[in-house]
A and B are shown apart, each in its own frame.
Chain A
Amino acid sequence: MMTDLILVLVVLTNLKLLGSSRLGSSIRVVAAQGVMLGLLPILVHVHELSLHFAALAAGTVALKGVVFPWLLFRALREAEVTREVEPYVGYITSILIGLAALATSFWLGGRLPVSTGEPASLLVPSALFSIFVGLFLIVARKRAVNQVLGFLVMENGIYTFGVGVVAELPFLVELGVLLDAFVAVFVMGIAIYHINREFDHIEVNRLDQLKG
Chain B
Amino acid sequence: MKHEALLWVLVLVPAVTGALSLLLRSARTILGVMCAGVGISLALGWYVAGKVLMSGPVSAGGEWLYLDALSAYNLGVMLLNYGLSSAYASVYFGVELREGRLTLHQARLFAGLWCGAMAAMTLVFISNNLGIMWVGIEATTLLTGFLICVHVTGESLEAMWKYILICSVGVAFAFMGTLLVGASAHGLGLSAPEVLLWTKLQAHAGSLNPICLKAAFIFLLVGYGTKAGLAPMHHWLPDAHSQAPAPVSAIFSGITLNTALYCVMRYVPIVEAGTGNTGWGLRLLTGFGLISILVAAVFVLLQHDLKRLLAYSSVEHIGIIALGVGLGGLGTFAALFHTLNHSLCKTLAFFGAGRLGQIFGTHDMRKLAGAIRVAPVWGMGLFGSLLALIGVAPFAVFMSELQILKAALDGRAILALVLFLFGAGVVFMGILGHAIPLAWGKTTSTVQPARAGILETLLVVVPLMFLLVLGIWMPEPLQTALNAAADVIHHVNPVLAGSSGGVMP
Contacts and interface: CB of A to CB of B under 8 A. Distances in A.
B258 interface: no
B209 interface: yes
A127 to B, nearest CB: 9
B299 interface: yes
Interface in A137-194: 138, 144, 147, 151, 154-155, 158, 161-162, 165-166, 168-173, 176-177, 179-180, 183-184, 187-188, 190-191, 194
Interface string B158-177: 11111011001100100110
**Size category, A interface:** 35 or more
A165 B183 contact: yes
A151 to B, nearest CB: 6
A166 B168 contact: no
Contact of A209 (B131, B154, B212): B154
A151 B170 CA distance: 11
Given A158-B172, A158-B179, A177-B175, A194 B157 contact: yes
B145 interface: yes
Contacts of A161: 176, 179
B243 interface: yes
A180 B135 contact: yes
B222 to A, nearest CB: 12
Nearest to B209: A113
Nearest to B175: A158
B155 A210 contact: yes
B172 A151 contact: yes
By secondary structure, the A interface counts as helix
B191 A198 contact: no
Interface in A110-143: 112-115, 131, 135, 138
A212 B168 CA distance: 22
Interface of A: 112-115, 131, 135, 138, 144, 147, 151, 154-155, 158, 161-162, 165-166, 168-173, 176-177, 179-180, 183-184, 187-188, 190-191, 194-195, 198-199, 204, 207-210, 212
19 contacts: A112-B215, A135-B169, A151-B168, A158-B172, A168-B190, A169-B192, A171-B192, A172-B129, A173-B132, A176-B135, A177-B134, A177-B175, A180-B138, A184-B142, A188-B164, A195-B161, A198-B154, A207-B158, A209-B155
Interface of B: 129, 131-132, 134-135, 138-139, 142, 145-146, 149, 152-155, 157-162, 164-165, 168-169, 172, 175-176, 179-180, 182-183, 186-187, 190-193, 195-196, 209, 211-212, 215, 238-239, 242-243, 299, 302-303, 308
